[in-house]
Amino acid sequence: VYLQVITGFLGSGKTTLLNALLKQDHGRRIAVIENEFGEIDIDSELVAFKESVEGDQAIMMLNNGCICCTVKEDLLVMLEELVARRDKFDHVVIETTGLANPKPIIETFRAYQPVAEQYCLDGVLTLVDAKHVGQHLDEEKEDGVVNEAVAQVAYADRIILNKTDLVSKEELESVERRLSSINNLAQVVRAQRADVKADYVLGIGGFDLDRVADEAAHSEAHAHGNGHEHSHSHDHSHEGHDHSHHDHMHDDKVTSVSVELDGDLDLDLVNDWMEDLLIDSSEDLYRFKGVLAIDGWPDRFIFQGVHAVFEGTPGKPWREGESHKSRMVFIGRDLDAKVLREGLQQCLVKAARV
């Protein structure tokens, strides 16, 4: 069974790509494992298909942790469970949380023999947000904390340069030069709304960890040589040795805040609150997504954004008698959980629904 890893920083378009991939008539049978960084499962609401694992497409969730560290064992269990149904799938696609460093994931597949015998790690596909990638690549990290955005580019076999409609031609070319300076072997394709053919995502054609490690070393040397202050933690040519736990560390200032409320929200109050929040905190608010119950709306309202760029769309209708709940997840630096929870609470409609 071929296994693809889809990675990319927060809000780069991974879930949008999965939706498109599952809708395309490409004749492949796909199982998807999603990694949600937060206590509340939002991505499963955003993915188009949620059929049982007995069908041709399955969505399996790993919650509240990063796939490269805290939930690694859960991932291995899921992969072993899928082996029992391998006749129903041609490909397994793993979507990592935006804060995942691909290196420990890749090493896991090499080191864990039961999985390595059943799966062919076909490659890493990285999505890049053309508008915001620069600030993530340039973000300074403490010693021993990997810059995840740089690692995701360095370990890519293929890159989707997404959201190209949000930047100028000059900005786009500058981003492409920067990506090439980090990983000049990865194929790069431009896209809007992650609209690419399935063949670009599936059947990448093999993965060479040694080559990627060399590229990571090259990218670090290049970044420091050009004045970019990155603190990478890639081990270079250390096959067979124990790896430092630094490979699994993330910036402690990047956290996830999950909010869940019963009842309906006033849309005007939500808009005002989000506007104030983005004015004050858009630089530190890497990603936010939610499924909201809006007063007077028959459908769920699906809401997601990256920094100051956000969008909303109607989702599935509420069933008759179904309890209305609003759920939001915020991912960013120095988030104040109390302020976020109280802010959303202030948007609740006071009168109870009859």
> How is the chain split into domains, by residue range?
2-248, 254-345
Which 8-state DSSP code applies to residue 200?
H
* Highest mean pLDDT out of 66-75, 111-120, 163-172, 182-191: 163-172
Nearest to 331 by CA among 104, 37, 59: 37
Identify the pLDDT of residue 207: 53
Tell me if domain 2-248 and domain 254-345 are identical in fold. no
d(CA 82, CA 117): 13
Which 8-state DSSP code applies to residue 323?
P
How many other β-carbons are positioned within 10 Å of the β-carbon of residue 221? 11
Residue 328 pLDDT greater than 50, yes or no: yes
Identify the pLDDT of residue 318: 92
Q: How confident is the model at residue 231 (pLDDT cuts 50, 70, 90)?
A: very low
Q: Is the pLDDT higher at 220 or at 18?
A: 18
> Helices 72-83 and 102-111, interaxial angle, to 10°?
50
Identify the pLDDT of residue 312: 79
* % the chain with pLDDT above 90: 27
d(CA 48, CA 240): 41
CATH pick for 254-345 out of 3.30.1220.10, 1.10.10.410, 3.30.70.20, 3.30.360.10: 3.30.1220.10
What architecture is domain 2-248?
3-Layer(aba) Sandwich (3.40)
Q: In terms of DSSP bridges, do strands 325-333 and 285-292 run parallel, antiparallel, or are they unpaired?
A: antiparallel
Q: Is the pLDDT higher at 94 or at 254?
A: 94
Residue 96 pLDDT greater than 50, yes or no: yes
Lowest-pLDDT choice from 6-10, 59-63, 218-222: 218-222
Q: Is the pLDDT higher at 46 or at 75?
A: 75
Residue 91 pLDDT greater than 80, yes or no: yes
Residue 41 pLDDT greater than 60, yes or no: no
Mean pLDDT value across the chain: 75
d(CA 272, CA 277): 9
Residue 66 pLDDT greater than 80, yes or no: no
d(CA 345, CA 248): 35
Identify the pLDDT of residue 113: 78
- Per the CB < 8 A criterion, the answer to whether 343 and 273 are in contact is yes
Q: Is the pLDDT higher at 40 or at 301?
A: 301
Contacts of 79 (CB under 8 A, 6+ apart): 3, 33, 92, 115, 118, 119
Which 8-state DSSP code applies to residue 39?
S
Q: Is the pLDDT higher at 338 or at 89?
A: 338
Residue 299 pLDDT greater than 90, yes or no: yes
Q: Helix, strand or coil for residue 158?
A: strand
* Highest mean pLDDT out of 17-21, 93-97, 123-127, 248-252: 123-127
Q: Average pLDDT for residues 168-183, to the nearest whole number?
A: 92
Residue 232 pLDDT greater than 90, yes or no: no
Identify the pLDDT of residue 221: 47
Lowest-pLDDT choice from 20-29, 73-82, 148-157, 262-271: 73-82
Q: How confident is the model at residue 228 (pLDDT cuts 50, 70, 90)?
A: very low
Residues in the chain: 354
Q: How confident is the model at residue 253 (pLDDT cuts 50, 70, 90)?
A: low
d(CA 235, CA 154): 13
How many other β-carbons are positioned within 10 Å of the β-carbon of residue 42? 20
Identify the pLDDT of residue 103: 72
d(CA 99, CA 35): 10
Residue 247 pLDDT greater than 60, yes or no: no
Q: Where are the alpha helices (DSSP H) in 84-227?
A: 102-111, 113-116, 133-137, 148-154, 169-182, 198-201, 209-225
Residue 186 pLDDT greater than 60, yes or no: yes
Q: Average pLDDT for residues 287-311, to the nearest whole number?
A: 84
Identify the pLDDT of residue 182: 83
Tokens of 226: 């050009």
Q: Average pLDDT for residues 142-167, to the nearest whole number?
A: 86
Q: Average pLDDT for residues 68-88, to the nearest whole number?
A: 70
Q: Is the pLDDT higher at 159 or at 117?
A: 159
Identify the pLDDT of residue 117: 84
Residue 290 pLDDT greater than 80, yes or no: yes
- Per the CB < 8 A criterion, the answer to whether 86 and 58 are in contact is no
Sign of the four-CA dihedral 224, 228, 232, 238: negative
Q: Average pLDDT for residues 249-265, to the nearest whole number?
A: 73
Identity of residue 293: A
